[in-house]
Every structure is written in structure tokens, then in C-alpha cells.
Structure 1
Amino acid sequence: MKRQNGFTLIELVVVIVILGILAVTAAPKFMNLQVDARNASLQGLKGAMQGAAGITYGKAAVKGQEGKTGSISEAGSTVTLAYGYPVATSEALGLVVNGLQAGNTEWKAFGAVANKSISYTFANQKGSTTECSVTYNQATSAAAATVEVNNCK
């Protein structure tokens, strides 16, 4: 009688099919690149907003307007200020942050002026507009302007 060493072709095919099924069902849980890309984009917008607010505050300080409301000229346009920082409107932030100008197709603004904050989310994002966003909070007499990120999940 002859002894068989190794696996048959059918056994190898069955194992490969099982591994393929496991890979198809498990891989999406480990590779969520779209969410990582969106979170990186949100962090980039946060940095751009913070940098633009700091530069605007520096320009306002040079002109002696850092402690009050008013406006300064920015790239041929007038930016409305609150304590030296841009006010929380899409118009003011559109003037100082590259990519947030009127007519942009990447970011969608939402928020209320009464709250003195404005949020931006992806223009093509489906579902809730507050799922992942960057929020700019207008400066007050006691605090500088702040930027917060609500990461995508």
C-alpha cells in the first residue's frame, strides 16, 4: 500500500477559498482609508484657519486694532474683525483662508452668527452635516479665536 504525503489539490483549493472569504469580510474593517483621508483633510483645514487667524491678528495688531472690533484690508478686500481676529462668517473666513472662498466646491459652511461660530464640512458628504467638521469660534473680549475638529468616524 502506498502512503500519501502532502495535500490534495481539492484540499488546497478549499483552504484558499476560505482564506479569500475571510479576507473579503475582514479587510474593510482594517482598511478604512477614506475616513483617514477625511480626518487628515479636516486637520489641514484646522491648521489653515489657525494660521490665517494668527496672521490676521498680527496685521490688526500692527494697525492697533487687536483689542476691538473693526476691519482691515486683506488682499484688496475688507475683513471684518472681532478683537483682532476674523469674525465667524463664511465671507470673512473666505477672504483669509485659501480654499474657503465663495463658490468653493470642497467645503460647505453651516452655523449661526448668533452663536459666533461657523462650521465647515465636506460639500459632498452624505447624511448629517455635523458628523465630521471643523468649527471656527469667534474671538471674544476674554478669549482668542479657537478652531476645533470633530473627526469623522
Structure 2
Amino acid sequence: MKNQMTNQKGFTLIELIIVIVILGILAVTAAPRFIDLQTDARAQTLEGVKAALQGSSQLVYAKAAIAGVQSSATAVNVTVNGAAVSTVNGYPNAAVITSAANVVPFLDLSTGDFAVINVDTTLAAGEFIIAFAGETATNNCYVRYVNAGANAAPGITTVATGC
């Protein structure tokens, strides 16, 4: 009898175990990045709210400029989408914005998903924040609006360190 060696093709058990171990290490390393998607989504949602607030503030300013009250340092109302919006220096007046319903005329904001806060120990006069419903400024996950100064646009910033 001739003893023929047959060529076997495939992986040995050791090779399969090594591949499984390497895949396990990769999964453990990559999993936290994919688990943290909610934080990224919340931060990006705030960036969207910030951009919408900047755009809508410019729209209110344009309405104030048309009415000739863009330089008024005292509160003046302009009509936006059929509703009166209080302005200072042509931009929305943070002092009168006390709830999400107050920003709906110039910012299409879901009042069920977001809260507007302007009375908080961390906020100065002429500021408000837009946060996710049920959160406060201490959560550090919000958009901050600071009234416009003379010849300056309002300060609109995002704080997402606590998202």
C-alpha cells in the first residue's frame, strides 16, 4: 500500500481560537464607542437647536430692521409668524422668555422635548437656556442665549459636557 499524504485545506483549532480571541478583544475595545452614541446624539441635537436659534434670531432682527427698531435698547415688540416677539437691539429679548411656548413664534421648538429656563442661580439677567425636558443648567447639556448688546448679535453657545 502506498501511503499517500492528502492535502487538507482549512483552519486548525488553534487558528480558530486565536481569531475568536482577537475578535473578542476588538469588540471589547470598540463597544464603549458605540454604546456612547446617545451622548453624541444629544450633543448634535443641541448643535441643531443652536443653529436654528441663530437663524431665527436673524429673522427676528430682519423684522425689527424692517420696522426700524433694530437699535432700540428698550424692549420693542415685532410681529413674527403672527405673534408679538419682544426684542432688544433687534434680537429676541431673553428677559421675557420664560418657557418653551415663548420661543415658538420665532423658533419651531417642540415644547414636549425641550424646556426653556431663564430663572436659575447660574443665569444672569438677559439670559435663557434651552435644555432637554426635565433638565436644568446644572446638567451641563443646553444651549445658552445671551441678549444682544448694542451693535452686536446675541451670544448663542452650546454646553454639552454633561450630555
TM-score, length-scaled by structure 2: 0.73
Question: In 1, distance between residues paired with 2:11 and 2:134?
Answer: 52
What is the identity, as a one-letter code, of the residue corresponding to 1:147? I
CA distance in 1, matches of 2:150, 2:109: 28
How many angstroms does 1:129 deviate by?
4.8
Unaligned runs of 5+ in 2: none
How far 1:72 sits from its partner (Å)?
A: 1.1
Corresponding residue pairs, total: 146
Which residue of structure 1 lines up, in the alignment, with residue 65 of structure 2? 61
Taking structure 1 as the reference length, what is the TM-score of the superposition?
0.77
Is the 8 Å Cα contact of residues 91 and 154 (structure 2) preserved in structure 1?
Answer: yes
The 8 Å contact of residues 86 and 92 in structure 1, kept in 2 or not, is answered as: no
For the structure 1 residues 128 and 96, does the alpha-carbon distance in structure 2 shift closer, same or farther, using more than 3 Å as the test?
A: closer
List alignment gaps of at least 5 residues for structure 1.
none
**Residue type of the partner of 1:134?**
V
Alignment counterpart, residue 109 of structure 1, candidates 94, 110, 116: 116
Q: State whether residues 50 and 146 of structure 1, in contact with CA within 8 Å, keep that contact through their aligned partners in structure 2.
A: no
2:154 paired residue among 141, 145, 149: 145
Aligned Cα root-mean-square deviation (Å) = 2.9
CA distances 1:14-59 after superposition (whole Å, capped 9, x unpaired): 3244234323321133333322222221111111101111110111
Question: CA offset at residue 142 of structure 1?
Answer: 5.7
What SS does the corresponding residue of 2:109 show, helix, strand or coil? coil
CA contact 2:112–2:133 (8 Å) conserved in 1? yes
Q: Which residue in the other structure is 1:18 paired with? A: 21
Residue 15 of structure 1: SS of its match in structure 2? helix
Match of residue 49 from structure 1: 53
After superposing the two structures, state which structure 1 stretch, 68-77 or 110-119, moved more: 110-119
Amino acid across the alignment from 1:27: A
Q: Tell me how far 1:124 sits from its aligned partner.
A: 6.2
SS in 2 for 1:96: coil
Q: Secondary structure at the match of 1:62?
A: helix
Change (3 A) 1:38 1:18: same
Structure showing greater radius of gyration is: 2
Provide the rounded CA distance (Å) in 1 between the counterparts of 2:137 and 2:88: 30
